[in-house]
């Protein structure tokens, strides 16, 4: 498999989770899940960083989980360490971009377990490509390669 170099600038923006292995997205209580990445200045070590906001709807209200991702440059490929903010500051996990679609329209993110979450995979599509049937089909196919199932409530928007 070719190693990817997916920088914070390439990840910047909002991504919708289309399929996942993560129980939080598959049980239907949390819907409309998104990741929003915003590049930050490099840390003291010089490693690339970005703000990481996970958004979702639960019981009719929009919720969010905040963290910071730091690129682990000593690892091959595109690996980041997520560290929670606020009450979640003690939590961390590693994640990697395993696949990207043409024009970075979709991606597959594989993540390690944390103290409170299992390991898994998400297939995500940029917000501006949700109406593109070809992009969505490619992302769903990529997710299936990682045993990810379509999340409840996702319907094609185009």
Q: pTM of the prediction?
A: 0.90
Structure tokens at 118: 């299992």
Tens of pLDDT, residues 39-53: 999 877 888 999 999
Distance between CA atoms of residues 101 and 142, nearest Å? 9
Q: Which of 40-44, 80-84, 102-106 has the lowest mean pLDDT?
A: 40-44
Mean pLDDT of 101-107: 96
**pLDDT higher than 60, residue 157:** no
Mean pLDDT of 102-119: 91
Do the Cβ atoms of 105 and 116 come closer than 8 Å? no
Q: Which pLDDT score is estimated for 155?
A: 60
Unique residue bearing structure tokens 């490099």 = 42
**pLDDT higher than 80, residue 64:** yes
Query: Could you tell me which residues come within 8 angstroms of residue 112 by beta carbon, excluding any fewer than 6 positions away?
Result: 93, 94, 95, 119
Tens of pLDDT, residues 86-98: 888 888 899 999 9
Distance between CA atoms of residues 43 and 81, nearest Å? 13
Do the Cβ atoms of 12 and 127 come closer than 8 Å? no
């Amino acid at each position: 498999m070719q190693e990817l170099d997916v920088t914070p600038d390439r990840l910047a923006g909002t991504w919708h989770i289309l399929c996942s292995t993560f129980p939080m997205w598959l049980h239907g209580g949390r819907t409309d899940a998104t990741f929003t990445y915003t590049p930050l200045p490099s840390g003291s070590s010089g490693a690339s960083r970005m703000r990481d906001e996970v958004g979702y709807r639960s019981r009719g209200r929009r919720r969010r989980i905040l963290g910071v991702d730091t690129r682990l440059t000593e690892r091959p490929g595109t690996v980041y360490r997520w560290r929670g903010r606020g009450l979640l500051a003690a939590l961390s996990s590693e994640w990697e971009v395993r696949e990207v679609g043409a024009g970075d329209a979709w991606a597959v993110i594989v993540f390690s377990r944390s103290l409170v979450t299992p390991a898994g995979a998400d297939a995500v599509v940029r917000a501006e490509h949700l109406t593109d049937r070809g992009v969505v089909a490619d992302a769903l196919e990529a997710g299936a390669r990682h045993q990810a199932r379509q999340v409840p409530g996702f319907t094609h928007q185009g």
